[in-house]
Amino acid sequence: MTKPPLPHAEPQIPDGLPEHRLSIVVPLYNEAENVEPLLERIHLALGPYPWPWEVVLVDDGSSDSTPDELARCAEQYGPHVRVVELVRNFKQTAAMQAGLDAARGSVVVTMDGDLQNDPIDSPRMVKRLLTEDLDLVAGWRKNRQDGLLLRKIPSRIANRLIARMTGVQLKDYGCSLKVFRASAIKNVRLYGEMHRFIPAWLATVTTPKRIAQEVVNHHPRVFGESKYGISRTFRVVLDLVFVYFFMRYRTRPGHFFGGIGIVLGTLGSLILAYMLGLKVFFGESIGTRPMLFGGFFLLIAGVQMVTSGVLAELLTRIYFESGSSRAYLARERGELEYDQAWYKPESLEPSSPPRA
């Protein structure tokens, strides 16, 4: 297998990094050719890192030889490379959540497994997170190496729409290279296809002032095929509707559905009142008039918007946030103690869990 070229830049670890432990979470689906180069890049970037770190690789039910490559490379590199194997393909959001659940660090880096994100950027982003007291530093692929028509243009439109509707002003929501404070991201549960909206979800448990963005490198894909197409644009629009609802109405869902229901119900009531007036005052026959049926169904629709819509959304949130339900199933593996299986510099003595 011919390896893709490694980044030319030498790893740069910024001075003055506060004490912490770092977890790197990478979901993978059918990326067998990228596993070894990915780990090589991560170790090149973080070899001289001054604090303990680990890599959590999540196999999202791959149908190729990705699980075998993950097992081989984990054995080759050591116990700080941990593998979470999902029993089937649960999609990227669930795989991301599985990795976040397994991560033990006080700082968590997420990135794609297709070699387009560059782990060399992560130490700089981690320092900004810790020194500026942020909860999220999101990557911005300013010089994105993707197709213009199918990837860049839809992404720009989606980014502007998401920023406008959520109030979280980022230029690149779709970049998977992000650095989180673990205490913040572990208060957010992801499901469906909500990985694109992690900054917006995070804004429900913190303030947007603690969310920043950083320009990062972006490389063209060398091996494998992209798992995304133009169809994801439509899914983004549907997901955005729910994000908008949850961010503004999660504590008062009746106001959202009730507002729509009142408009529909009022319109239906006015139509029925008009029909009643024609019948009572002018003696006209209204039994077969389409307007009568229209008013009746608008009134019923208004009632349903106030009731069934609210109940459906609340039940969905209860199901996924009850603590007993998850959006994925992983194969059982032994639990690790906090001080086990970290990549540590030789000069670093074991210490108590850092506060970050």
Q: What is the number of structural domains in the chain?
A: 2
Instruction: With a cut of 70, say whether residue 85 has pLDDT above it.
Output: yes
Cα–Cα distance measured from residue 116 to residue 222, given in angstroms and rounded to the nearest whole number? 9
Does 315 fall in a domain?
yes
Range of the domain at 152: 22-249
pLDDT tens digits, residue range 201-212? 888 888 888 999
Residues 190 and 275 in one domain: no
Asked if residue 285 and residue 198 are part of one domain, the reply reads no
The confidence score (pLDDT) of residue 76 equals 95
DSSP assignment of 191-251 equals -TTGGGGHHHHHTTTS-GGGEEEEE-------SS--S--TTHHHHHHHHHHHHHHHHHHTT
11 within a domain of the structure (yes/no): no
262 and 243 part of one domain = no
Q: Is residue 342 part of a domain?
A: no
**Residue 101 falls within a domain, yes or no?**
yes
pLDDT over threshold 60, residue 103: yes
Rounded CA separation 130/51 (Å): 13
Residues 198 and 274 in one domain: no
The answer to whether residues 171 and 241 belong to one domain is: yes
Quote the distance between the C-alpha of residue 328 and its chain's center: 14
Co-location of 122 and 76 in the same domain: yes
What average pLDDT does the structure give for the chain?
83
37 within some domain:
yes
Q: What pLDDT sits at residue 351? A: 46
The answer on 181 and 70 residing in a single domain is yes
pLDDT given for residue 226 in this prediction: 63
Mean pLDDT (whole number) for 62-84:
95
**Residue 355 falls within a domain, yes or no?**
no
Residue 293 lies in a domain: yes
249, 272, 307: which is the final residue of a domain? 249
**CATH number, residue 132:** 3.90.550.10
Please list the residues that pair with 109 across neighbouring strands. 24, 179
Please check the confidence at residue 1 and state whether its pLDDT lies above 50: no
241 in the same domain as 109: yes
Provide CB contacts within 8 A for 326, sequence distance 6+.
94, 97, 98, 101
User: What sign for the dihedral angle of Cα 307, 308, 309, 310?
Assistant: positive
- 223 plus 314 within the same structural domain: no
pLDDT at residue 87 tops 70: yes
Q: Which of 213, 229, 249 is the last residue of a domain?
A: 249
Q: Which of 196, 222, 249 is the last residue of a domain?
A: 249
The reported pLDDT for the residue numbered 88 is 93
- pLDDT of 162-194, one tens digit each? 777 777 778 888 788 999 999 999 988 887 677
Q: What's the CA gap between 165 and 78, in Å, rounded?
A: 44
170 and 205 part of one domain: yes
Q: Looking at the structure, do residues 80 and 111 belong to the same domain, yes or no?
A: yes
Task: Give CA torsion, residues 344, 346, 352, 353, to 10 deg.
Answer: -20
Residue 335 lies in a domain: no
Q: Are 71 and 84 in contact (CB under 8 A)?
A: no
**pTM for this entry:** 0.76
**Domain shared by 91 and 198, yes or no:** yes
Model pLDDT, residue 331: 78
